[in-house]
């Protein structure tokens, strides 16, 4: 990417765990586009993942924060604004986790305490994050906040389990909080609904490999990769998308608007 469309902009990237993470690719892309960033993830992910390597590569500080803890989020925002010497222009929420998916619990037999924990991490954390940013007046005017989501929020994908419900909740929070962030601070809030992607979180979904092939055959442009998603996010953090807000933006090679593709019909005949 040769255009420095994020020159002078400062932002926080949540959720880079390893080389495959969508947030990892996004961190690399925003820095390449001229931005300065703070990286953050849950304390346990900092111990398990390889995020130190990314921090070194992007020359960014790494500040641990459990996204379900208001205390951690407040400390992260204070430390980040101190580091930047001013307010924040963009934030990426790239966080998802379902204990039910991990442990192979069927949707008709969910453990509801795990469901609540997954909901808190995958959806409510987005509200907590925005509430801390809002109350601390930490975002610059015309800033941009993005969370990553999946089409299972609108359509049924049996193996996506309780993550489907979490994503529906996440997308609703984007619209509800986005209204107030727009009205009072001129900050935009959107979700990007990404193609299935092979990552640590993606791996947990039963039958992902076959589903990747199905989505590839269904999407006229093929599946969007993590790198493609990173580039789209760069645009959404730039001044080229100033008036886009409260949207769920499908970034999926066209998958969301296809009923059935010829390749799928051919494969069944
Ligand atoms: N992989 C896919 O197929 C796909 C498709 C569409 C959307 N998404 C979404 O993209 C986002 C990023 O996922 P990914 O696929 O890059 O996988 P990933 O496993 O690399 O990223 C998930 C991240 O969430 C972090 N996390 C978990 N609990 C946390 C907590 N309490 N506090 C802070 N961070 C926490 C993990 O440490 C990890 O870095 C998720 O919201 C996911 O649902 C993924």
- How far apart, in whole angstroms, are the C-alpha atoms of residue 95 and residue 45? 11
Structural domains in the chain, sorted by start: 10-268 (3.40.50.720)
Strand (E) or helix (H) holding 146: strand 139-149
Q: In the beta sheet, which residues pair with residue 40?
A: 14
Tell me which residue of 161, 61, 82 sits closest to 118, measured CA to CA.
161
Buried residues in 227-253 as b, exposed as e (16+ CB within 10 A): ebbbbbbbbbbbeebeeebbbbbbbbb
What secondary structure letter does DSSP report for 62? B
Please identify, by atom number, the ligand 1 atom nearest to the C-alpha of residue 15.
39
**Counting beta carbons within 10 angstroms of the beta carbon of residue 213, is it exposed (0 to 12), middle (13 to 18) or buried (19 or more)?**
middle
Q: Atom 26 in ligand 1: which residue has the minimum CA distance?
A: 95
Per-residue pLDDT of the chain (269 residues; tens, 9 = 90+): 568 999 999 999 999 999 999 999 999 999 999 999 999 999 999 888 799 999 999 999 999 999 999 999 999 999 999 999 999 999 999 999 999 999 999 999 999 999 999 999 999 999 999 999 999 999 999 999 999 999 999 999 989 999 999 999 999 999 999 999 999 999 999 999 999 999 888 888 888 889 999 999 999 999 999 999 999 999 999 999 999 999 999 999 999 999 999 999 999 99
Please identify, by atom number, the ligand 1 atom nearest to the C-alpha of residue 205.
3
């Amino acid at each position: 990417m040769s255009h420095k469309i994020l020159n002078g902009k400062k932002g926080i990237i949540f959720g880079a765990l390893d080389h495959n993470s969508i947030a990892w690719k996004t961190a690399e892309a925003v820095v390449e586009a001229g931005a300065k960033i703070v990286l953050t993830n849950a304390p346990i992910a900092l111990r398990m993942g390889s995020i130190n390597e990314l921090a070194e590569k992007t020359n960014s500080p790494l500040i641990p924060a459990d996204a379900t803890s208001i205390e951690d989020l407040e400390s992260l925002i204070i430390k980040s604004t101190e580091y930047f010497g001013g307010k924040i222009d963009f934030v990426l929420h790239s966080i998802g986790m379902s204990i039910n998916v991990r442990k192979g619990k069927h949707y008709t037999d969910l453990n509801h305490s795990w469901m609540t924990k997954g909901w808190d991490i995958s959806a409510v954390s987005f509200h907590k994050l925005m509430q801390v940013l809002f109350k601390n007046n930490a975002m610059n005017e015309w800033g941009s906040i993005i969370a990553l989501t999946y089409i299972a929020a609108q359509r049924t994908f049996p193996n996506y389990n309780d993550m489907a419900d979490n994503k529906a909740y996440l997308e609703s929070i984007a619209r509800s909080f986005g209204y107030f962030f727009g009205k009072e601070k001129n900050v935009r809030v959107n979700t990007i609904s990404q193609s299935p992607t092979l990552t640590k979180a993606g791996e947990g979904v039963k039958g992902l490999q076959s589903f990747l092939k199905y989505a590839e055959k269904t999407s006229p442009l093929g599946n969007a990769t993590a790198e493609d998603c990173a580039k789209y996010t760069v645009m959404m953090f730039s001044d080229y998308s100033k008036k886009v807000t409260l949207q769920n933006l499908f970034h999926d090679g066209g998958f969301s608007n296809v009923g059935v593709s010829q390749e799928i019909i051919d494969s069944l005949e």
